[in-house]
């Protein structure tokens, strides 16, 4: 746990979190890690955030029950307070409206227009609180012909094009192994919120941020997106290969698999020297990256047997020695328990007294700020754990 005296970049900022599942909670967890007070509203009729039930695995409670702390929920909900409020009731709406009056930021992921009937939409709240930063996350955004369609990570990956690029050339389109569209949307939301707060602090003027899961996914097509826009040619699935660099792929070694990422012609020459294949670096068909791209299949067919004869450790040691980018393919045990991950604090243990182990182990925040480091102040909350205290703080009945 973090020392309470640690200076926090967003200390004093109040975030009202009306989001659930992953994109919005990713953004609010980031804001919470940076010191913001995040109040998460959860619907008692549904048992709270959908992901509380997305298990196993769950954190086991002291009484042996699984409780409501799924590993999925815990991935995006530390440094938050959980308040149970049913927007379908006057009491719930009044509570959330009172919290909005004290908030600097509201973030929600209801369907476009879904909060109008509760008087909690961006137009209503910005009229009441002109300095408010209000971020709406939806599948397709607040405008456009698809605005009313629901949005989930898998659908965004399909609609936005990334699945057409992912997977083996001879296989079906493939999603990324985690909810990357949701996570990246949460990243964009965080950046937009911080930019809007900067504007608010200079002018006193709040604003509405309209963020679509599919828009965000299209934005991070990066070089493959601009490859298509420049050439008009649809990219093809290449498995682990790179569309613009060769050799840049996963290769079978004698005892596993290894990554080789040759970034320039000098590296290619040193790579060939390690495998006693200097004739390949001298061959005009392979001497330059454009030539290697044009003759990709022929070159890779010659390289694969060279690497297959050697263990992973041998390949990594010798290519690292000549400064050719190379690396192993770790499973999560190897990755998260590595000396590097521990040195960088990429896993953290947080006190959770109600759990059997008394703590939960979570992924760390990658931001390393020299003056205002991220803090880990509170573990992901049980459903509604902070409702009574928050109501009392607002001068409302604590029952």
Residue-range domain boundaries for the chain: 14-220+340-394, 248-330
- Residue 94 annotated to the active site: no
Do 19 and 107 form a contact (C-beta atoms < 8 A)?
yes
Answer yes or no: are the C-beta atoms of 368 and 34 closer than 8 Å. Answer: no
Whether the predicted pLDDT of 71 surpasses 90: yes
Q: What's the whole-number mean pLDDT along residues 335-347?
A: 97
In this structure, are residues 184 and 216 in contact, taking their beta carbons and an 8 Å threshold? Answer: yes
Query: In the prediction, which pLDDT does 4 show?
Result: 59
CATH number of 248-330: 3.30.1540.10
Confidence of residue 5 (pLDDT cuts 50, 70, 90): confident
174 closest CA partner among 151, 150, 156, 158: 158
Quote the tokens at residue 298.
């022929």
pLDDT band at residue 2 under the 50/70/90 scheme: low
Mean pLDDT of the chain: 96
How confident is the model over 223-250, as pLDDT tens digits?
Answer: 999 999 999 999 999 999 999 999 999 9
Q: Let me know: does 257 contact 240? Beta carbons within 8 Å.
A: no
Residue-level pLDDT at 14: 98
pLDDT, residue 6, reads 82
Catalytic residue among 17, 33, 68, 182: 182
Residue 338 has pLDDT above 90, yes or no: yes
Tell me how far apart the alpha carbons of residues 283 and 337 are, in angstroms, rounded to a whole number: 43
pLDDT score of 3: 53
Same fold, 14-220+340-394 and 248-330: no
Give the CATH H-level superfamily of domain 14-220+340-394. Crotonobetainyl-coa:carnitine coa-transferase; domain 1 (3.40.50.10540)
Residue whose C-alpha is closest to residue 213's, from 27, 17, 51: 27
Beta strand spans in the chain (E): 14-18, 37-42, 81-84, 105-108, 133-138, 207-212, 248-253, 256-261, 326-328, 347-351, 359-363
Distance of CA 396 to the CA centre of its chain: 36
Statement: residue 398 has pLDDT above 70: no
Tell whether the model's pLDDT for residue 1 goes beyond 60.
no
């Amino acid at each position: 746990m973090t020392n309470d005296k640690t200076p926090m970049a967003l200390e004093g900022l109040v975030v009202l979190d009306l989001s659930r599942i992953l994109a919005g909670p990713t953004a609010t967890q980031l804001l919470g890690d940076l010191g913001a007070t995040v109040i998460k509203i959860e619907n008692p009729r549904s048992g709270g955030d959908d992901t509380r039930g997305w298990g196993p695995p769950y954190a086991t409670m002291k009484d042996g029950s699984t409780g409501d702390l799924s590993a999925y929920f815990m991935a995006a909900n530390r440094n938050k307070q959980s308040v149970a409020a049913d927007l379908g009731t006057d009491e719930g709406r009044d509570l959330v409206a009172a919290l909005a009056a004290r908030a600097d930021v509201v973030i929600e992921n209801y369907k476009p227009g879904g909060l109008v009937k509760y008087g909690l939409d961006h137009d209503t709240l910005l009229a009441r609180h002109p300095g408010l930063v209000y971020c709406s996350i939806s599948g397709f955004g607040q405008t456009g012909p698809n605005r009313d369609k629901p949005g989930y990570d898998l659908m965004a990956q399909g609609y936005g094009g990334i699945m057409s690029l992912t997977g083996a050339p001879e296989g079906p389109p493939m999603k990324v192994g985690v909810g990357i569209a949701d996570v990246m949307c949460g990243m964009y939301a965080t950046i937009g919120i911080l930019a809007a707060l900067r504007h608010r602090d200079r002018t006193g003027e709040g604003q509405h941020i309209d963020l679509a899961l599919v828009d965000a996914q299209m934005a991070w097509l990066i070089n493959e997106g601009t490859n298509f826009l420049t050439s008009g040619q649809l990219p093809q699935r290449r498995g682990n290969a790179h569309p613009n660099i060769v050799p840049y792929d996963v290769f079978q070694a004698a005892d596993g698999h290894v990554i080789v990422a040759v970034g320039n012609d000098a590296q290619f020459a040193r790579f060939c020297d390690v495998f006693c294949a200097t004739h390949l670096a001298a061959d005009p068909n392979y001497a330059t990256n454009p030539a290697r791209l044009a003759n990709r299949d022929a070159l890779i067919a010659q390289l694969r047997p060279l690497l297959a004869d050697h263990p992973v450790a041998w390949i990594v040691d010798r290519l690292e020695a000549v400064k050719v980018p190379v690396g192993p393919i770790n499973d999560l045990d190897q990755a998260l328990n590595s000396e590097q991950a521990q040195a960088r604090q990429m896993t953290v243990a947080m006190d959770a007294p109600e759990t059997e182990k008394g703590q939960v182990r979570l992924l760390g925040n990658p931001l390393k700020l020299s003056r205002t480091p991220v803090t880990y102040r509170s573990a992901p909350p049980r459903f509604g754990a902070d409702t009574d205290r928050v109501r009392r703080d607002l001068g409302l009945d604590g029952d």
